[in-house]
Amino acid sequence: MNPVWPHPPIRVGLVGAGPWARTMHARMLAAGPETELAAVWARRDEAATALAAEYGTKAAASFAELLDACEAVAFAVPPAVQAELAPRAARAGRALLLEKPLGPDLAAARAVADAVADSGVVSQLVLTKRYHPATRRFLERARATTVTGARSCYLHGAFLGGDQATTWRLEHGALLDLGPHLLDLLDLAVGPVTTVRSTGDPRRWIELTCAHENGAVSQASLSGAVALPRARTRIELYGPEDADELVHDTAGLDHEECWPVLRRDFATAARGGRAGDLDARRGLRLQELLAQALR
């Protein structure tokens, strides 16, 4: 059961009306009680109208109208579009629920993070796996363990066809789309990443080797273009202690357990005016690691 929310719901405007906006953002925000889906805006008017009608809210005629209708803005759009619009929302004083990556490149990501910092608004990243209770337990165990090496993977075939085979994913590949998830977890579970090197093609298969501050080394295999019956996501930590409890297989996680946690964390941060650790600064940190890998 969701604990009682003692405040008025945060009125959130949704930017985007594609598959991810429909299946996750709109449904999560409309479910409440911490949030209310105040309006939907997308560059395709008909898509915004259809999504808004599904959840009994209004379709905004413009981004400016969306800002007028809400206290916070959630983005479910390609990175380049988010990087264009998020600074405007920040300057308007709206809390931001941001997708990863922050932008299509490091300069765009830095512009988003700078706008958030300059405006003093709350921001939060939708790194879905971080909101699952099992992931939080795994990270707690990892912090209490000496890790000397790690292996990880995030593999699926969604880029081969279907809703996730979008233009920006096909152009940039798995590094920008899947990389933030693994780099975030490796950076926390193993220790701060100092350098990232890559081999391969992010549109087919890319292998990352990370060096960490504590001397540990980790690897990450990424692909969205391999035929698998279901996504394969896994992190294995190794060191001088028993590693049985230091394997985190996220492929089988029920993501329905993530959304209430994500929604409450965002609403709590927005109401309190204080962001958590998964904010735009964290997004910029991850984008800096992605940029290293691209070099």
pLDDT truncated to tens, each residue of the chain (295 aa)? 456 899 999 999 999 999 999 999 999 999 999 999 999 999 999 999 999 999 999 999 999 999 999 999 999 999 999 999 999 999 999 999 999 999 999 999 999 999 999 999 999 999 999 999 999 999 999 999 999 999 999 999 999 998 888 889 999 999 999 999 999 999 999 999 999 999 999 999 999 999 999 999 999 999 999 999 999 999 999 998 766 668 999 888 888 999 999 999 999 999 999 999 999 999 999 999 999 999 8
Q: Regarding beta strands 217-223 and 149-155, do their DSSP bridges make them parallel or antiparallel, or are they unpaired?
A: parallel
Q: 232 has which bridge partners?
A: 155
CATH number of the structural domain spanning residue 140: 3.30.360.10
Question: 267 and 225, same structural domain?
Answer: no
For the beta carbon of residue 236, count every other beta carbon within 10 angstroms: 16
Question: 138 and 238, same structural domain?
Answer: yes
Helices and strands in the chain: count of H runs, count of E runs: 11, 12
292 domain-assigned:
no
Inter-residue contact 48 to 66 (CB < 8 Å):
no
| Whether the predicted model's global pTM rises above the 0.75 cut | yes
246 domain-assigned:
yes
161 domain-assigned:
yes
- Split into its structural domains, the chain has a count of 2
CATH number of the structural domain spanning residue 121: 3.40.50.720
Question: 222 and 266, same structural domain?
Answer: no
Phi, psi of 43 (to 5 degrees): -70, -20
Q: What is the pLDDT of residue 244?
A: 61
286 domain-assigned:
no
In which domain, by residue range, is 195 found?
133-252
Inter-residue contact 41 to 64 (CB < 8 Å):
no
One-letter amino acid at 104 equals: P
40 domain-assigned:
yes
Question: 146 and 103, same structural domain?
Answer: no
Q: What is the pLDDT of residue 115?
A: 98
240 domain-assigned:
yes
179 domain-assigned:
yes
Inter-residue contact 224 to 158 (CB < 8 Å):
yes
Question: 170 and 109, same structural domain?
Answer: no
Question: 160 and 84, same structural domain?
Answer: no
Q: 239: which DSSP letter?
A: S
Which two structure tokens, joined as six digits, stand for 132? Answer: 């699952």
For the beta carbon of residue 18, count every other beta carbon within 10 angstroms: 17
Question: 213 and 107, same structural domain?
Answer: no
Q: 24: which DSSP letter?
A: I
CA dist 39 and 45 (Å) reads: 13
* Residues sharing a CB contact under 8 Å with residue 229, sequence separation 6 or more, in sequence order: none
Question: 57 and 148, same structural domain?
Answer: no
Q: What is the pLDDT of residue 251?
A: 85
Question: 74 and 177, same structural domain?
Answer: no
Question: 273 and 212, same structural domain?
Answer: no
Question: 145 and 83, same structural domain?
Answer: no
For the beta carbon of residue 54, count every other beta carbon within 10 angstroms: 15
Q: What is the pLDDT of residue 1?
A: 41
Q: 252 vs 133, 153, 255, CA distance in Å?
A: 13, 14, 9
212 domain-assigned:
yes
Question: 69 and 34, same structural domain?
Answer: yes
